[in-house]
Amino acid sequence: MCCAFLVLVTLGPRVLNAIWWLVDPVRWQAAFLSWPISWWLWPVAGIVLVPWTTLMYVIVAPGGVTGLDWLWIGLGLLADIASYSSSAKRQSLPGYSGY
């Protein structure tokens, strides 16, 4: 059960981002078209490295990122940091065998 939850948390936002990109590519183009490098490179890097932040950015960016939109992007970044740091804490525990 724990492994299924871990796979869901790890792959869930990445799969959601990929499916959303396939279903609604116009929104993704609107979010990333103003970036200086080609519009598909940033979303791919975001899905691989920071999927929660990318998800929040695509939600708020087409209307322009102002005010409380930065809060949502920050919460996505905190979710990404928490997902990466949780495995480091587990492995540093004394007596942790890695199962």
**Per-domain residue ranges of the chain:** 2-91
Residue with token string 């804490």: 89
* Residue 51, pLDDT score: 92
* Residue 30, pLDDT score: 85
* Residue 3, pLDDT score: 73
Q: Are 57 and 46 within 8 A, CB to CB?
A: yes
Distance CA 50, CA 80 (A): 6
- Can you give the pLDDT of all 99 residues of the chain as single tens digits? 667 777 777 778 899 999 999 999 888 888 888 776 777 888 888 889 999 999 999 999 888 888 899 999 999 999 888 888 765 555 555 666 655
How would DSSP label each residue in 42-68? Answer: HHHHHHHH-HHHHHHHHHHGGG---TT
Distance CA 74, CA 14 (A): 18
The whole-model pTM stands at 0.75
